[in-house]
Amino acid sequence: MEKLAATAAQQQQLEPVSAHVDKLHSQLADNTAILDDLDRNVANIGALKTVADGLTQDAGPDDESTQGLSTHVCY
Protein backbone atom coordinates (compact mmCIF):
# COMPACT_ATOMS: atom_id res chain seq x y z
CA MET A 1 0.00 0.00 0.00
CA GLU A 2 2.89 2.35 0.73
CA LYS A 3 4.22 2.05 -2.83
CA LEU A 4 0.77 2.73 -4.24
CA ALA A 5 0.36 5.79 -2.03
CA ALA A 6 3.81 7.05 -3.02
CA THR A 7 3.01 6.58 -6.69
CA ALA A 8 -0.30 8.41 -6.31
CA ALA A 9 1.42 11.30 -4.53
CA GLN A 10 4.09 11.47 -7.24
CA GLN A 11 1.44 11.50 -9.97
CA GLN A 12 -0.40 14.39 -8.32
CA GLN A 13 2.79 16.48 -8.30
CA LEU A 14 3.66 16.02 -11.98
CA GLU A 15 3.37 18.97 -14.32
CA PRO A 16 1.12 18.56 -17.35
CA VAL A 17 2.85 17.63 -20.58
CA SER A 18 1.74 20.93 -22.11
CA ALA A 19 4.04 22.71 -19.65
CA HIS A 20 7.04 21.42 -21.60
CA VAL A 21 6.40 22.90 -25.03
CA ASP A 22 10.11 23.29 -25.89
CA LYS A 23 10.78 19.65 -25.07
CA LEU A 24 7.79 18.57 -27.17
CA HIS A 25 9.00 20.64 -30.14
CA SER A 26 12.46 19.11 -29.81
CA GLN A 27 11.06 15.58 -29.67
CA LEU A 28 8.83 16.29 -32.66
CA ALA A 29 11.82 17.54 -34.67
CA ASP A 30 13.84 14.45 -33.70
CA ASN A 31 11.00 12.11 -34.63
CA THR A 32 10.46 13.89 -37.94
CA ALA A 33 14.16 13.50 -38.76
CA ILE A 34 13.98 9.79 -37.94
CA LEU A 35 10.94 9.36 -40.20
CA ASP A 36 12.72 11.21 -43.02
CA ASP A 37 15.72 8.89 -42.66
CA LEU A 38 13.44 5.85 -42.73
CA ASP A 39 11.68 7.11 -45.85
CA ARG A 40 15.02 7.54 -47.61
CA ASN A 41 16.19 4.10 -46.49
CA VAL A 42 13.00 2.41 -47.67
CA ALA A 43 13.49 3.92 -51.13
CA ASN A 44 17.16 2.85 -51.17
CA ILE A 45 16.32 -0.68 -50.05
CA GLY A 46 13.63 -0.89 -52.74
CA ALA A 47 16.14 0.19 -55.39
CA LEU A 48 18.70 -2.35 -54.16
CA LYS A 49 16.07 -5.08 -54.19
CA THR A 50 15.13 -4.21 -57.77
CA VAL A 51 18.77 -4.40 -58.87
CA ALA A 52 19.32 -7.66 -56.97
CA ASP A 53 16.18 -9.18 -58.48
CA GLY A 54 17.38 -8.18 -61.95
CA LEU A 55 20.82 -9.68 -61.40
CA THR A 56 19.32 -12.87 -60.02
CA GLN A 57 16.96 -13.10 -62.97
CA ASP A 58 19.78 -12.48 -65.47
CA ALA A 59 21.91 -15.18 -63.85
CA GLY A 60 19.12 -17.74 -64.09
CA PRO A 61 17.81 -20.27 -61.60
CA ASP A 62 20.60 -22.80 -62.25
CA ASP A 63 23.45 -20.40 -61.42
CA GLU A 64 25.10 -21.60 -58.19
CA SER A 65 25.76 -18.04 -57.01
CA THR A 66 22.04 -17.23 -56.89
CA GLN A 67 20.81 -20.35 -55.12
CA GLY A 68 19.41 -19.65 -51.68
CA LEU A 69 19.21 -15.88 -52.15
CA SER A 70 15.44 -15.72 -51.84
CA THR A 71 15.67 -16.96 -48.24
CA HIS A 72 18.05 -14.11 -47.30
CA VAL A 73 16.32 -11.15 -48.93
CA CYS A 74 14.23 -8.96 -46.62
CA TYR A 75 11.14 -7.29 -48.01
User: pLDDT digits over 5-42, tens only?
Assistant: 999 988 888 888 778 899 999 999 999 999 999 998 99
- Residues 43-53 have a mean pLDDT of 89
H helix runs in 1-75, sequence order: 2-13, 21-59
pLDDT at 69: 63
Going from N- to C-terminal start, the domains of the chain cover 18-71
Is the pTM here over 0.85, yes or no? no
Specify whether the CB–CB gap between 56 and 69 falls below 8 A.
Answer: yes
Dump pLDDT digits (tens) for 56-75.
888 877 777 777 665 444 54
How deeply is 12 buried, as exposed, middle or buried, from its count of CB atoms within 10 A (0-12, 13-18, 19+)?
exposed
